[in-house]
Amino acid sequence: MKSIGPYVAARDLPGRPSSPVQTLRATDRLTGMPVLLHLLPAAAPLPELPAHPHLLAPVDSGAEGAQHYVVTELPLQARPASDPDLTARGALAALSALHAQGLVHGGLSPSQLWSVDGQVLLAGAGLPWGGQGRPDDDLYALAVILHELGGLPRALEPLATQPGRLSAAQALARLGAPPAATSPEAPVPPADAKQTSAAQTPIAQTPAVQAAPAPEAAEPAAAARHDGTPIVLGAPPGAGPVEPTEHPTGGDGATAPSTVVATRPTTGAPATPSPGAARSQTPQERRRQENEARRAQAALDAQAAAARKAEARRAQAAAAGPAAPAPVQIGFDDLPAWTPDAPPAPGPRVGEAPGAREVERLPASLRRQTPPPAPDPEPAPTRLPRRTAGEPIRIGWDEDDSWRVVREAPAPAPRPTMPEWARPEWFGPRRAVTVLAALLLVGGTWWALSQRQAAPATPASATQRCCEVRLTVRGTPGVSARLSVVDAPEGAGLTRGQDLGRAPGLLRLPLAGTYRLRVVADGWSPATLTVTVPRTQPVTIDLSD
């Protein structure tokens, strides 16, 4: 990542190979907001673009040394466009607004199309992309992008097969979407042919005149069959929420058809705000207005859904009719038969609830049986007489009160006797001299053998210390390399391909000389390393790009 002014470039976005403008995805270091950086070959002023909800206009420009750039802010939820249908609608709406003002994008690519809350916005308009662009070139580039995203819609196939046949507005009308408008609040929806022909008169500049409803369009719409859903076509910018109206129902439960209100569409040249008004509106204000418009539309959708649910409930209640209450019978089965001569039933006892009776919690098969009475405890055993030492252990039997010897008392353990060689009489003066001489002989033999084994170890350890090389790895952290023998000096005892260990670490070579080693690391091509020992400096293996 590199810094360009107050922005940190995250990655390079693909674009046209021959274009002089480079697009980068970056982040504002001061606010943390995502932005698009367009690197320009030379300094250029901010383009004057029509205010349109599907256009992302540049908001800042600057230079970092000899590098000039233009900044376009992105919403936090912006993602690269991936849906062909949404991309076609958003891009055609933006291109229609540009082409209506005599402007051409000239650098349309997937890096300039961004999806935000189900809508696709177009960036990079008005920049020096190079060449003399035409509207047909923008539409053909859009057709290629849609084909790469998953498929060109059938209605837009003439953009690729017959370039120049359709304009952006005509292609948008084929998709059934509203044509482009320069109002930042809401685009003006298309109307049918009858309403368009009736709206060719000059349009006043005030919003109240543009939003005047057309009476001649409301009558045929009301006469058509409708499912009861309130429909509003061409709601003017700034209009308040549409309150759903309840329609009276007749005696038979039928619901009167809803009235469809249509407004006169706007034709001719779209109204373009003055350059001073466009500059005075900051990106934060524009986003706030867009969020307010989305919240107002969500409230309208919720009100319309609630009205539809209420209408459906009323229709179901009218179709079902009033529910007849169940008849109430008293004095049939809920009272016992009365006999004048029958004695009065015994009443409940004091403190007992009327009609209370004992109910077994478990059936008889699952209830625990009553335990039998416990037998009389056995008498405590009498105390046996004290046994004298040496008397055999006896156990009494209850049947005939006889006694039987179980085991005899253990005999006392014999005293341990000393071995023959440990007796005191064996440790005389001459025997002590003999033992001492034997100990000296054994100690001398052990010392001689230890000195003989340690003598040849000295040059081996010196050779080992002489031929130790420290290996380090530079570049990618956490990656190690395997070392094997390619060529070794004679007498080293190493064969070709023998594994010597891994780097980073300590490499021990048997003899001084020049070694050729093969270095293999995961994700890197094998290489050959030449090491001459003895040496004091470490050997560095570079795995960087």
Find the CATH number of the domain harbouring 527.
2.60.40
Q: What integer pLDDT is reported at residue 433 of this predicted model?
A: 79
**For residue 264, is pLDDT > 60?**
no
b/e per residue 367-391 (b: at least 16 CB within 10 A): eeeeeeeeeeeeeeeeeeeeeeeee
Q: What integer pLDDT is reported at residue 21 of this predicted model?
A: 92
Least confident piece of the model among 258-262, 345-349, 386-390 = 258-262
Q: What integer pLDDT is reported at residue 198 of this predicted model?
A: 34
Q: What integer pLDDT is reported at residue 463 of this predicted model?
A: 45
Q: What integer pLDDT is reported at residue 113 of this predicted model?
A: 94
Distance between CA atoms of 264 and 241, rounded to whole angstroms? 19
Any domain includes 504: yes
| pLDDT per residue as tens digits for the range 298-334 | 889 889 889 988 998 888 888 887 666 656 555 445 5
Any domain includes 528: yes
**For residue 70, is pLDDT > 90?**
yes
Q: Is the peptide bond before 534 cis (omega within 30 degrees of 0)?
A: yes
Any domain includes 529: yes
> Could you tell me the residue range of the domain that residue 500 belongs to?
464-542
pTM of the model: 0.36
Q: Which of 509, 498, 507 is nearest to 480 (CA)?
A: 507
Distance between CA atoms of 218 and 233, rounded to whole angstroms? 11
Q: What integer pLDDT is reported at residue 146 of this predicted model?
A: 92
**For residue 279, is pLDDT > 60?**
no
**For residue 94, is pLDDT > 90?**
yes
Residue the block writes with tokens 């230079």: 63
Any domain includes 494: yes
Number of domains observed in the structure of the chain: 1
Asked if residue 88 lies in contact with residue 115, where contact means CB atoms within 8 angstroms, the answer is no
| pLDDT per residue as tens digits for the range 373-407 | 888 777 776 665 666 665 666 565 556 666 655 55
Any domain includes 431: no
